[in-house]
Amino acid sequence: MSSDTLKENVMREERLSGGHRMCAGCGSPIAIRTVLRQLEPGDHAVVTGATSCMEVSTFMYPYTAWKDSFIHNAFANAAATCSGVETAYKALKKSGKLDDTYKFITFGGDGGTYDIGFQSLSGAMERGHDMVYVCYDNEAYMNTGIQRSSSTPHFADTTTTPAGKVIPGKLQKKKDLTKIMVAHNVPYVAQTTFIGNFKDISEKAHKAIYTPGAAFLNIMAPCPRGWRYPTEKLMEVTKAAVETCVWPLYEVIEGKYTLNYMPKNKLPVAEYLKMQGRFAHMFKPGNEWMIEQVQQEVDKNWEYLLKSCGL
């Protein structure tokens, strides 16, 4: 994306209006605004949203921050609803009852994507509906009190995995949903976040929306309440996640892996962990083994990704 193209893209009309109730320093509305901005002028969207912080903060009847058609769903069925609307749209187009161009996008947090909504997500992807599922991954059930999800990282302190004398935070590793979506053999899968000039997330969102068939976009979207970082540090947190290879930037097109960003100097994972209060216990004397174990896990995943990309 050239600088002129990027500037033109940023100047497009916002499809998520200001005045919503999302927290300052939250990554979710940034992810949503950036994705929706990739819709070409003149194209319409039907958005389905799983119950989440995003849903309750942007759509409180009779008020809505969404400028495109928006359907609120339960945790479990956002992808199923989107696939149903997409099927109805194709039938209306075929019968000549509709001429406008619509795109179909689902937004869900990790709780409604990795866990409760996984069945409907998997079904929609396997059936190959022409839709995009966007997970804004904040790594816990933030809407209901910062409970752990299968996306929560190893050793993270949450209200249901409290770090203390009994347990050292979450005992399980984070589920790799991006790889699971690749295994569904859909045309486009990508992992991204906010770094630099938003080029990576913008290009991937456009590809996902305009790739025929099913597409999945996994976006790291930090939560200041759950991750416990100062609100103004959002971009620094995501940058650290990428530079430490905790959250690599890559895409898989028709099964072919491509690494989109190679850190010049891969930073130790401690540089990312120390920025967040949910990992503070890992830096107490005697807990160094946790940091060492996470480093080993990150290194192993990074090497696997490099091999998948042929590097």
String of b and e for 185-197 (b: at least 16 CB within 10 Å)?
ebbbbbbbbbbee
* Consecutive 10-residue averages of pLDDT for the chain (311 residues): 61 86 93 95 94 89 92 94 97 92 96 96 98 98 96 98 96 98 98 94 97 98 97 97 98 98 97 98 97 98 98 96
How much of the chain is in helix, strand and coil states, percent to nearest 5? Answer: 40, 20, 40
**pLDDT (0 to 100) of residue 100:** 87
C-beta of residue 109 within 8 angstroms of C-beta of residue 52 = yes
How many other β-carbons are positioned within 10 Å of the β-carbon of residue 255?
Answer: 11
- Exposure of 242 by Cβ count < 10 A (0-12 exposed, 13-18 middle, 19+ buried)? buried
C-beta of residue 147 within 8 angstroms of C-beta of residue 158 = yes
d(CA 260, CA 252): 10
Q: How many domains does the chain have?
A: 1
Tell me whether strands 63-64 and 69-73 are parallel, antiparallel or unpaired. unpaired
CATH at residue 168: 3.40.50.970
**pLDDT (0 to 100) of residue 281:** 98
Residue numbers of the domain that contains 219: 3-308
